Amino acid sequence: MTVVRSMSGTTADRRAVIFLLRRLRSPEGQNNPQPVWHELRALGDVVPAPWGGYLVTGYDACTEVLRGKATWLAPDLAWQARQPNTERWQASATRAISRALFRLNPPVHTAQRRSLGNPFDRHALDSLAPRVAAHATRVVDRLAERIRHDGEADFVTLVGDRLPILTVGEWLGIPEHHHAHILDFTHRQVHSQELFPTKRELAISAQATADMREFFTGLIEERRADPGDDVVSRWIRYWDEQFPDDRAAADQTVYDLVMFITIASLETSATLMANAVWLLGRHTDRWQWLRRHQEHIDDAVEETLRYDPPVHFNTRIAADDTQLAGIPIAKDQMVHVMYGAAAHDPRRNQNPELFDITREGAHLSHMSFGGGIHYCLGAALARLEARTLLTELLRRFETLIPLTAPTYAPRMVFRRVTSLKVTT
């Protein structure tokens, strides 16, 4: 069921939306976005945004956008070329990231997605699981050691940021001495994907994009010189066959894939893990209940994904004049799917503000991995990492208590916890 409200976008509504979005980006909103989601939802399922787009807040309306592949398109390069704000949409960082899978539409998206198959199917996960467990043990060892020595430790730098890059780095065959550099450019690149990047942020992203280009181009050259049975070598072989007379096109496609899969896998997974420790650890009884009921670890991961999704917004554009939840939307207008607001829609999840590990149908209660043709390629891997890490943390620590609330990067689209101090 969707709420149909007449939202003509009055000045008062526009002011309210601007105020709410400012709050969402502020430290207060980053720490507790739920009241903002609640107030935005109260304005309607589809709320006109001051810059001409729409915020989609209701669960059903968000699902309709994600699944409606003919009606709702990714804002690709062709759409960007039609936008008057060239500073934003023609920025080098924006254009570079727009060649990545999540910004492609069929048929190019279909061809690239098909080429990947399901890299994290049951068989692949079974072989990755022991490696993820080994990485989890190693990072938790360091956490335990630091807590023993200093009485406290930063979960994010020692564990949350480390486990995803160890896992994906090894899967792609990227040696560990490159990991810090990859994390660094990933954190800097992401600005261009924000709703309103400033000039300064676009410049930071441009430099990060150049760093990424240099790094992944070098990686592809190395694999060409010394091909093996690794994932990147396999992608090179595949795309060489698709573009037998165009080596540059093959290289560009492999670059777009390896670059985006790497950066898409890092901050998202790190945020999920930091959120899980914050939400579980801050209530000692919750932590201890889960220690006794480890059969609910998967449910705890799903509830964390629902309660505070690592990605808060995804943008689509209308392929034609259309309607969403009764609101007319013109061709080319942007709609911003709000994953958090949707997962806290009381029509979908009862008592949405309650963090409830025993929530029924936990994996169906959110859309934090997206939906439709762009459904997250790495969802199964992210779940494996989170499950493995939680299992290890619960085994090792009777309590794991956050000393203060997490600190967050001031962002709206890709959430990032920058620090979470814990003790036992």
| Residue placing its CB nearer to ligand HEM in the complex, 143 or 270 | 270
| Residue placing its CB nearer to ligand HEM in the complex, 155 or 369 | 369
With tokens 């916890």, the residue in question is: 417
CA 51 – CA 168 distance, rounded (Å): 37
| Residue placing its CB nearer to ligand HEM in the complex, 2 or 265 | 265
Q: How far is the CB of 374 from ligand HEM (least distance, A)?
A: 3
Q: Which residue is nearest to ligand HEM (CB)?
A: 378
Q: How far is the CB of 14 from ligand HEM (least distance, A)?
A: 26
| Residue placing its CB nearer to ligand HEM in the complex, 188 or 374 | 374
CA 15 – CA 83 distance, rounded (Å): 24
Q: Phi then psi for 177, rounded to 5 degrees?
A: -70, -10
CA 333 – CA 52 distance, rounded (Å): 7
398 burial level (CB within 10 Å; 0-12, 13-18, 19+): exposed
CA 223 – CA 181 distance, rounded (Å): 19
Q: How far is the CB of 19 from ligand HEM (least distance, A)?
A: 26
What count of other Cβ atoms lies within 10 Å of the Cβ of residue 10? 10
| Residue placing its CB nearer to ligand HEM in the complex, 190 or 264 | 264
Burial profile 101-118: b = 16 or more Cβ within 10 angstroms, e = fewer: bbbbbeeebeebbeeeee
Name 205's Cβ contacts closer than 8 Å, sequence gap at least 6.
91, 93, 94, 188, 189, 190, 191, 192, 197
| Residue placing its CB nearer to ligand HEM in the complex, 43 or 167 | 167
Give 310's strand partners: none
Q: How far is the CB of 198 from ligand HEM (least distance, A)?
A: 22
Where does this chain bind ligand HEM (CB under 6 A)?
Answer: 101-102, 113, 168, 260-261, 264-265, 268-269, 272, 310-311, 314, 368-370, 374, 376-378, 381-382
Instruction: Specify the pairing of strand 407-408 against strand 327-329.
Output: unpaired
Q: How far is the CB of 394 from ligand HEM (least distance, A)?
A: 19
| Residue placing its CB nearer to ligand HEM in the complex, 208 or 338 | 338
Half-sphere exposure for 146 (CA within 13 Å, toward CB): 17
- Going by the DSSP 8-state scheme, the letter that residue 418 receives in this structure is E
Q: How far is the CB of 40 from ligand HEM (least distance, A)?
A: 19
Q: How far is the CB of 284 from ligand HEM (least distance, A)?
A: 25
Q: How far is the CB of 168 from ligand HEM (least distance, A)?
A: 6
421 burial level (CB within 10 Å; 0-12, 13-18, 19+): middle
| Residue placing its CB nearer to ligand HEM in the complex, 268 or 388 | 268
